[in-house]
Chain A
Amino acid sequence: MTEHDAEQADEQATGPPARTAVGGGPDSSASLDRLRLPAHLESLPRFRELALAWAERAGLGQEAVQRLDLVLEEMLMNVFHHAYPGQLGDVELALLSSRQALFSSRQDNPRPEAALPGRLSLTLTDWGLAFDPLAPTRPAQAGGLADGLTEGLVDGLAESLEEGQAEASFDDLEAQLEANLEAGLDERELGGMGLFLLRTLAQAAYERRGNANVLTLTFGP
């Protein structure tokens, strides 16, 4: 029996693992980890714990770790609330540390790895309703109203700062906010704010892959 066969036998013996480590763990050059859990609030702490452990190993700075923490929660909450209406599905978090990315690109662009600060990529996959959180406007999506709210808030804010009319703008902003509150600040609007934070605080890429939503977040330089 080869070593490879032995690994397969181990996997079969334990059944499909909820979490697998590939490539020998975070200290090897190829570091990948996956965690697949039910898409509900109770799963948030375990995803967070795993992501923060990897952020530490990847050597991310404090600011990047805080942004990761925030954007991960926002994107998980979005999946929890919207991906599987009326049913419970799964969401998977895959983590890829900078070492593997650097290793694969080294031959094309050789440079001293030690000079590069830590970087971590997180890929969130769900198999629910197709949804691109990076799309600029999504009138068909329930979150559209909240996006209008937050973008309107920030745009209005920028204009007021430029024109020196902060007071007038404050009333406008508050009126917009009040109007939306009156309309009901429900979970979907909360998701809208989360999408705004995603676009502001993370490097992100979205892909619809078959029947899956695949969102990749990268933190670090």
Chain B
Amino acid sequence: MECTGCKQGAFYVLSVAGRMDALTSQGFETECLARLDAGDTRIVVDLSALEYISSAGLRSILAAAKKLKAVGGDLAFCGLTGIVAEVFTVSGFAKLLPVYATRVEALARS
């Protein structure tokens, strides 16, 4: 798993590539918390380069989402494909968290 990011207006866009599995997922929560410490509480996560996610990845996302919400921020997602989109759907995460088809749509929200 590799995270890269940049500021875009009110949001911090975090692109996650590779695999979010039991071996790597903790890094996502760590990255989000680092952004939170840096003052970025509204994060858009672009998953278009993510090839795989397991329940360990979902858990890391939930933990990060909860911490961002606690400070008035949020965590939104875009670019889900293949097994990643399937896991978001069957787990109910696609309804629990804001999910957009594209990064442009995710950035256009208020």
Which stretch of A4-12, A96-104, A122-130, A194-202 is in the interface?
Answer: A194-202
Judge whether A88 is part of the interface by a CB distance below 8 angstroms.
no
Contacts of B17 in A (CB 8 A): none
Q: A170-B96, A177-B62 are in contact. Are A41 and B23 (CB under 8 A)?
A: yes
Which stretch of B3-11, B33-41, B82-90, B102-110 is in the interface?
Answer: B82-90
9 A-B pairs besides A66-B52, A73-B56, A197-B91 with CB distance below 8 A are A70-B54, A70-B87, A73-B22, A77-B55, A154-B92, A169-B95, A173-B96, A185-B63, A190-B55
Tell me the minimal C-beta distance from A171 to chain B in angstroms: 11
Q: Is the CB of B62 within 8 A of A173?
A: no
Q: Is the CB of A193 within 8 A of B95?
A: no
Contacts of B23 in A (CB 8 A): 41, 44-45
Q: Is the CB of A66 within 8 A of B55?
A: no
Q: A73-B21, A153-B92, A177-B62 are in contact. Are A194 and B82 (CB under 8 A)?
A: no
Judge whether A174 is part of the interface by a CB distance below 8 angstroms.
yes
Q: Name the prevailing secondary structure of the A interface residues.
A: helix
Cα of A67 to Cα of B63 in the assembled complex, Å: 24
Tell me the minimal C-beta distance from A66 to chain B in angstroms: 4
Contacts of B96 in A (CB 8 A): 153, 170, 173-174, 177
Q: Is the CB of A41 within 8 A of B22?
A: yes
Q: Can you offer 22 A-B residue contacts whose CB atoms are under 8 A?
A: A41-B22, A44-B23, A45-B23, A63-B83, A66-B52, A70-B87, A77-B54, A150-B92, A154-B90, A156-B92, A157-B92, A157-B95, A170-B96, A173-B96, A177-B62, A185-B62, A185-B63, A190-B59, A196-B90, A197-B90, A200-B90, A201-B86
